[in-house]
Structure 1
């Protein structure tokens, strides 16, 4: 009983501090570009015929000089029409190239292998990395570049999902909520993590760690690259802004969602200790709160639950508002159910003795 009350007091105090920092946040403004350096956009694609053209069309809408842009799509042995579609698209868009990836660089697999080979071919000093099912915003390049300093190695944008169903909308809120929590920490000048579908890494930082082939293989290759860049003494920056908000397709069903999150959980064990502590504390709420009903009245028990949902809803609302979206208030209640159920299933899912399936491969 005393432990539960002590934990809940700590939990709500921590959350109130995070909420206050987030609610009254003053984001750093990107430096305006005085010139437009040449940049490379690296995209690993495997069986993405249904998405790749939308990805390329979004890139074509970028407010960035096309003569300063090279887009390199690595076709990772696709069995569909991905390669044909990219090659056809490149005929009318000279800055786009399709590179067939038919072999693995020793020490790499999957996406890391593709990106490593694309980096070998890149001709700029700035590598923008996104996925074949992502649509980037029009001011993506200049905003990300505007957050570089001479000591910055990686700049990370934000990504969420689009879609109209309740399941799709809950995934959107889930992404923005977690990215908001990370941004509060990043705003304190602490490194948090990166996202492999929305990141900028300088050539200097990439070559300093030896590229993907020079770091230990991980199914979350972006997190491993982030750790390695930090170890070399580079700084990182996280940007929470609609100008860098990329859109991803939502997971179509629960099984796909859990496979995705299980892969992410593998990478989360490599987060900085303070981020691990934050997510452990956040995830421990229900294991502590639920048995409390045996030691207190139902009114107090439910009141603690309502207070938690209220604070969380305020945080999520602020996260949604900061990227110019509108909150559907009933969704915030369903988000609590979604987070609880997915957390319980993921805990079991994470420890099941089978490999992670990703893009048709097992790791």
Structure 2
């Protein structure tokens, strides 16, 4: 038994080391093309539900974009907010662009619900060929439009940037490492031509790809609406790009509590259920590190388990450093040992939450 566990853990470490090497040596979609000429008008779509506190930060970053303001169409969908979301949005964008609108969402289109329904409405109001989708709790870089648009080559339906979680507390910083590590691995897989996921808070979708899917109103409802749209576009023959760079980095507000973090991850697991079987099995194997390490410590003693754990910290820390550097951020090395306990707690909490957590609850709505 100890031999099997050790073999599994060494294979796990070898796979992580290989992914780290691939990330370090391959630039893939980093190689940008040329911006379309003349520069096209683009639509920015934001779904907002009770976002009066977060939305001004997002809209302020849009006012700082390098892209010509007259080529921007900014649409905010007010999803039955009970606060001052609409008024705050209007005030934040006053005098910026004439093509800014807050659109009240009062009904459902087809199969769409929640955020997918808001985006379905906004897409119908959009008048351009490029939909840039982000969230109300996101701060965007001035280079955002160009960083994604220059990868929208003919035949490409979706371009996804990266998202960094940033906040002052220790809990926020651990979430930040978690995100960039995960996105570094996604980058490696996507550069092999395998469609893993997309980020609905930092995503370009062409009108051609969106309409080819029938839009959110025609897609089966999913609480991971970004992944559902991404899958549908790929299924219809459109290419995809993932851009891992500081110029395409969106900064997200962190989850404020452990309970909120678990609810977020439970929602993401619904998207994992839609992955091809091969990828789901690979994720299952990848998530087996901690149970296998505990098993190794039980049957072979603490020494071998600590040696394997040290190897994980070293390889994973290297990948975290590379991911932070490419994202234009600095990794605080002293956080890496604490991150191990964070991932251990998160792994077993998610298992428990999956068993006892019930339905997905997001933005005050319950999804069975």
**TM-score normalized with structure 1 length:** 0.97
| Matched residue, 2:307 | 303
Q: What CA distance in whole angstroms lies between the structure 1 residues aligned with 2:9 and 2:264?
A: 30
Cα RMSD, aligned residues only: 1.4
Q: What CA distance in whole angstroms lies between the structure 2 residues aligned with 1:247 and 1:26?
A: 22
- The equivalences for 1:1-363 within 5 A come to 1=1, 2-27=3-28, 28-33=30-35, 34-93=37-96, 94-352=98-356, 354-363=358-367
Q: What CA distance in whole angstroms lies between the structure 2 residues aligned with 1:233 and 1:138?
A: 31
Q: What CA distance in whole angstroms lies between the structure 2 residues aligned with 1:80 and 1:186?
A: 39
The 10-residue stretch of structure 1 (281-290 or 63-72) with the greater mean CA deviation from structure 2: 281-290
| 3-state secondary structure, aligned to 2:317 | helix
The answer for unaligned runs of 5 or more in structure 2 is none
8 Å CA contact 2:111, 2:217 repeated in 1? yes
The 10-residue stretch of structure 1 (85-94 or 110-119) with the greater mean CA deviation from structure 2: 85-94
Q: What CA distance in whole angstroms lies between the structure 2 residues aligned with 1:91 and 1:320?
A: 35
Q: What CA distance in whole angstroms lies between the structure 2 residues aligned with 1:276 and 1:96?
A: 41
Q: What do the CA deviations read for 1:321-352 (whole angstroms, capped 9, x no partner)?
A: 11121111110111111011011001111232
8 Å CA contact 1:74, 1:101 repeated in 2? yes
Offset, 1:273 = 4.1
Q: What do the CA deviations read for 1:258-287 (whole angstroms, capped 9, x no partner)?
A: 111111111112224454344222210111
| 3-state secondary structure, aligned to 2:241 | strand
The 10-residue stretch of structure 1 (203-212 or 22-31) with the greater mean CA deviation from structure 2: 22-31
Aligned length: 363
Q: What do the CA deviations read for 1:220-275 (whole angstroms, capped 9, x no partner)?
A: 11111111111111111111111111011101111111111111111112224454
The 10-residue stretch of structure 1 (268-277 or 162-171) with the greater mean CA deviation from structure 2: 268-277
8 Å CA contact 2:76, 2:101 repeated in 1? yes
Q: What CA distance in whole angstroms lies between the structure 1 residues aligned with 2:24 and 2:7?
A: 26
Q: What CA distance in whole angstroms lies between the structure 2 residues aligned with 1:356 and 1:191?
A: 25
| 3-state secondary structure, aligned to 1:260 | helix
The answer for unaligned runs of 5 or more in structure 1 is none
Q: What CA distance in whole angstroms lies between the structure 2 residues aligned with 1:285 and 1:147?
A: 36
